Amino acid sequence: MTRLQTPETQSNPALAAFLTLAASAFAAGTTLLAKALGTGALGPALHPLQISHGRFLFALLAISSVAAFMRPKIAKPNWGLHIGRSTLGWGGVTLMFAAAAYIPLSDATAISFLNPVVGMLLAIPFLGERIGRWRWGSAVIAFSGAMVLVRPGAGALEFGALLALGAALCMGSELIFIKLLSGRERPFQILLANNAIGLTIATVAVLFVWHPPTALQWAALAAIGFLMAAAQACFVNAMARADASFVSPFFYMALAFAAFYDALVFAVFPDVISWIGAGLILLAAAILVWREAHPRRRQRL
């Protein structure tokens, strides 16, 4: 895995690490705010469809403002791929926000880390990629961790974990479309199209559940959108300054940020089952990152 090289950026691993940590903190912050909105902590509980609509609305406003200032070159987009990617992205975000209202943020975040494994498995039939024994092993470990976090028989916790698992499946499927788009279009164009189409889908969906948010809820919805845009910008810039195998592990700090936010705001602390499940998923991710770090290892994946 190599970094996204551009003439304007130079290798800077320290800055890349900082930007990735910032991205993980921002991303965990969006889930925290979604939980506050979905559980009624900031007024009457909002439906996940309304929360995801706010995420896309304000993220697009932020990205469009940057586009108006930078005036990036826009090539002819592949609308089929963009629509497929954005539909899955919207579904993943909505399910993730729904899960945050039922289970600890650390559990929801840990389960969402399954998405690279899902993407890896889907790359076999859709991209023709071959998967070696190490990747298969990491997939088994990751899904074992997810099953621990699903907590069979735990009522609401089980339902919330299944929502998070659905989010991971959507986001993992989205990776296939991102990979197909990344070799054809510029990253900023992909980001702009994703949020524009995502907002269109979210606007249609929210019509069925909409009710006027309070001023405080509007502020939280705006914060979700702006934080998500900031997280995406930080991560893209980090990838431009260091190899993906170096950058990726730092993003898993989102799990620590999510646990910290949940404890600070909602006094929810991870239990033993949460630590075991999250540990298995992180172990699987660590195996993939370690194997991807060196070309010789990748050949034997």
Question: Where are the chain's structural domains?
Answer: 13-299
**pLDDT over threshold 60, residue 294:** no
CB 257 within 8 A of CB 25: yes
Of 43, 45, 37, 93, the residue nearest 205 (C-alpha): 93
Residue 282: its pLDDT value, please? 84
Distance CA 144, CA 86 (A): 29
Tell me the per-residue pLDDT of 169-228, one tens digit each, with 9 for 90 and over: 999 999 899 888 877 888 888 889 999 999 999 999 999 999 999 999 999 999 999 999
Q: Which residue has the tokens 């909002």?
A: 46
SS3 for 134-176, per residue? Answer: HHHHHHHHHHHHHHHHHCCCCCHHHHHHHHHHHHHHHHHHHHH
CA distances in angstroms from 191 to 74, 78, 174, 203, listed in the order given = 12, 13, 13, 18
Distance CA 143, CA 282 (A): 11
Average pLDDT score over residue span 160-177: 92
Average pLDDT score over residue span 158-167: 89
Q: If pLDDT is split at 50, 70 and 90, which confidence band does 133 have?
A: confident
Sign of the alpha-carbon torsion through 46, 252, 63, 95? negative
Of 103, 93, 139, the residue nearest 119 (C-alpha): 139
Q: Which residue has the tokens 């999250």?
A: 278
State the Cα torsion 95-168-170-209 to the nearest 10°. Answer: 0
Tell me the per-residue pLDDT of 37-68, one tens digit each, with 9 for 90 and over: 999 999 999 999 999 999 999 999 999 998 88
CA distances in angstroms from 257 to 28, 31, 133, 159, 278, listed in the order given = 6, 10, 32, 23, 14
Tell me, what amino acid is at 242? A
Global confidence as pTM: 0.86
**pLDDT over threshold 70, residue 31:** yes
Tell me, what amino acid is at 234? C
Q: Which residue has the tokens 């991971």?
A: 168
